[in-house]
Amino acid sequence: MSKFIFITGGVVSSLGKGIASASIGALMESHGYKITILKLDPYINVDPGTMSPFQHGEVYVTEDGTETDLDLGHYERFTNTKTTKSNNTTSGQIYNSVIQKEREGKYLGKTIQVVPHITDEIKSKITDLSKDVDIVICEIGGTVGDIESLPFLESIRQLHLQHNTKDTLFIHLTLVPYIKAAEETKTKPTQHSVASLRQIGILPRILLCRTEKPLSDDIKEKIALFCNIKKEAVIEAIDTDLIYEIPLIFHKQGLDKIILEFLDMKIKTNPGLSRWGNIVKILRTTEKDVKIGVVGKYIKLQDSYKSIYEALTHGGIANKCRVKFIKIDSETIEKEGPEKLLKDVNGVIVPGGFGIRGVEGMIETIRYCREKQIPFLGICLGLQCTIIEFARHVCGLEKAHSTEFQPECPQPVVCLLDEQKMMTKLGGTMRLGSYPCKIAKGTFSFKAYGKELIHERHRHRWEFNVAYFEELEKKGMVFAGLSPDRKLVEIVELKNHPFFVATQFHPEFKSKPFASAPLFSYFIKACLNNR
Ligand code: GLN
């Protein structure tokens, strides 16, 4: 029988509930427990796959090809959990399956209601995950007080009632703001947020208080008294520029011990946290910096390339250096040219994207990196632009393009596979999830991975048009990675360059702080040599 930890958020959104949940997962693992983490998202979309990255941030893709919330990326980076479609559920999915069951007559003519039908569906999503783990950590998206998240909160209230008291635990992440004008830290929003939870029958036992300044003893006492929580369970979640420090910040305050005591589980005197300490030490003390230009189309929003920034940081950790991001909108490259904007960077990454806006800027950037011998890593759309650039400027195919951007293009070097041309809807029509790739010996990629057969995650519709294979190969493009049946191009490279690699897949999704994606660490190494 597994235990359940429920994590809710209060006062405002964006307090870092995903990272807090992932950090709690890491702490539980450090005591030897097997965990899984799931996120319940209150929005009606059936999956985040068709949502704009400007609204929703990155779409994280799991091994089984589910397009999920970016918080699942934090879960996989911080813990050993391997997430699948079961680790992220939206209200849209819940309602969808209840309505389907109703249409199939499975409710035998009963009136279908939020309680119990929707809540039963939600509860089974949570308990289904409990089979092979010691602890299920369940993050409730949204903020307490939202209309949308009520059925989720009602479901976890019911789960608490249906289990032994020691088997479920509610943790609430809240904001404790510092008001500059009054020079005071305010507890009232937290009091209100906890009061709202108690009104619907949820008693949080631990508060994670997001704060700019350390909380004084008085403030902790006040929060404890007004929120009906033990003082030691008022945990300070202080702002930090290093997310990988958060498990340690929590551990120092005894959060792991408090949780495990509450759940009546064994506590290790020496939990295995040294690897977190090592990472923090490297990132806090290293004198080496490397500047990476990230040239993409969703630059304005911090979260759109979340896994890319994290994987670059991991590549830095592997090389004992700090990575600085120089974020450049590819449309600015179109207006101002690459020379000025890229003059200070040690390497360039062109990440994925959809739609034509900014594509010419990416192509210009790639040309600049190819000609000026600047280490370059292209990802997904980054590979497709690499192909277009090479076809146009090296092979003389001046009209080369992708049919995504120019459907009637006369030299379609990137195109849809025949079976995809019939596509009528956008949701669920991409090549998604893990696919095998065979790497050719003697390439950058082979050196990075150190093996021939790899598996990486995909999220795209368009592919390299293999009709142009020989023409590009003759001019020096190295097809370093292919699908085992040799029909799909997965990696291209250039020789006589310090590092020039582009992948159709997204290696960033599998990168971890302790095990950087091989191409990212190799790329950072090349960038360090270009300082
Ligand atoms: N728009 C391109 C495609 O669908 C690339 C997608 C991506 O970069 N993730 O194939």
What CATH number has the domain bearing residue 188?
3.40.50.300
**Residues 465, 341 share a domain:** yes
**Residues 475, 439 share a domain:** yes
| 312 Cα to the center of ligand 1, angstroms | 20
Tokens, residue 302: 């911090």
Query: Does an H or E element contain 404, and which?
Result: none
State in Å, rounded, how far the first CA of the chain is from the last one.
54
**Is 420 a residue whose pLDDT tops 70?**
no
Q: What is the mean pLDDT of residues 496-511?
A: 97
Structural domain span for residue 318: 287-528
**Residues 199, 343 share a domain:** no
Q: What is the mean pLDDT of residues 33-56?
A: 86
Predicted TM-score of the model (pTM):
0.93
**Residues 318, 268 share a domain:** no
Q: What is the mean pLDDT of residues 302-326?
A: 95
Percent of the chain with pLDDT over 70: 98
Q: Is 459 exposed, middle or buried (0-12, 13-18, 19+ CB in 10 A)?
A: buried
Is the CB of residue 117 below 6 angstroms from any atom belonging to ligand 1? Answer: no
pLDDT in tens, 104-147: 999 988 999 999 999 999 999 999 999 999 999 999 999 999 99
**Residues 437, 369 share a domain:** yes
**Is 101 a residue whose pLDDT tops 60?**
yes
Atom of ligand 1 nearest to the CA of 379: 8
Total structural domains in the chain?
Answer: 2
Is the CB of residue 506 below 6 angstroms from any atom belonging to ligand 1? Answer: no
CA distance 56 to 77: 19
**Is 429 a residue whose pLDDT tops 90?**
no
- pLDDT value at residue 419: 67
**Residues 507, 390 share a domain:** yes
Q: What is the mean pLDDT of residues 466-470?
A: 95
What CATH number has the domain bearing residue 386?
3.40.50.880
Helix (H, G, I), strand (E, B) or coil at 414: strand
Q: Are 520 and 315 in contact (CB under 8 A)?
A: yes
| 352 Cα to the center of ligand 1, angstroms | 6
Residue 9 CB partners (closer than 8 Å, separation 6+): 15, 17, 140, 142, 143, 144, 172, 173, 174
Q: Which of 278, 312, 332 delimits the end of a domain?
A: 278
Q: What is the mean pLDDT of residues 366-380?
A: 97
Active site residue 493: no
- pLDDT value at residue 54: 74
**Residues 363, 316 share a domain:** yes
**Residues 266, 306 share a domain:** no
Q: Are 98 and 112 in contact (CB under 8 A)?
A: yes
Active site residue 508: yes
Nearest-CA residue for atom 3 of ligand 1 = 460
Q: Which of 261, 278, 295 delimits the end of a domain?
A: 278
**Residues 433, 298 share a domain:** yes
Tokens, residue 32: 């030897």
**Is 298 a residue whose pLDDT tops 90?**
no
Q: Residue 50 — very low, low, confident or very high, per pLDDT cuts 50/70/90?
A: confident
Q: Are 287 and 191 in contact (CB under 8 A)?
A: no
Q: Residue 49 — very low, low, confident or very high, per pLDDT cuts 50/70/90?
A: confident
- pLDDT value at residue 13: 87
Q: What is the mean pLDDT of residues 9-27?
A: 94
**Is 226 a residue whose pLDDT tops 90?**
yes
**Is 223 a residue whose pLDDT tops 80?**
yes
**Residues 187, 74 share a domain:** yes
Q: Residue 424 — very low, low, confident or very high, per pLDDT cuts 50/70/90?
A: low
| 301 Cα to the center of ligand 1, angstroms | 18
From 274, 280, 237, select the one nearest 255 (Cα to Cα). Answer: 237
From 75, 89, 76, select the one nearest 20 (Cα to Cα). Answer: 75
- pLDDT value at residue 1: 80
**Residues 216, 339 share a domain:** no
- pLDDT value at residue 428: 54
Nearest-CA residue for atom 6 of ligand 1 = 460
Q: Which of 278, 308, 333 delimits the end of a domain?
A: 278
Tell me how many degrees the CA angle 528-529-531 measures, rounded to the nearest 5. 70
**Residues 160, 217 share a domain:** yes
Q: What is the mean pLDDT of residues 45-67?
A: 85
Active site residue 385: no
Rg (CA), the chain: 25
pLDDT in tens, 266-297: 999 999 899 999 999 999 999 999 999 999 99
Is the CB of residue 380 below 6 angstroms from any atom belonging to ligand 1? Answer: yes
Q: What is the mean pLDDT of residues 482-498?
A: 96
Of 121, 415, 506, 527, catalytic? 506
- Range in 49-63, 253-267, 347-361, 488-502 with the lowest mean pLDDT: 49-63
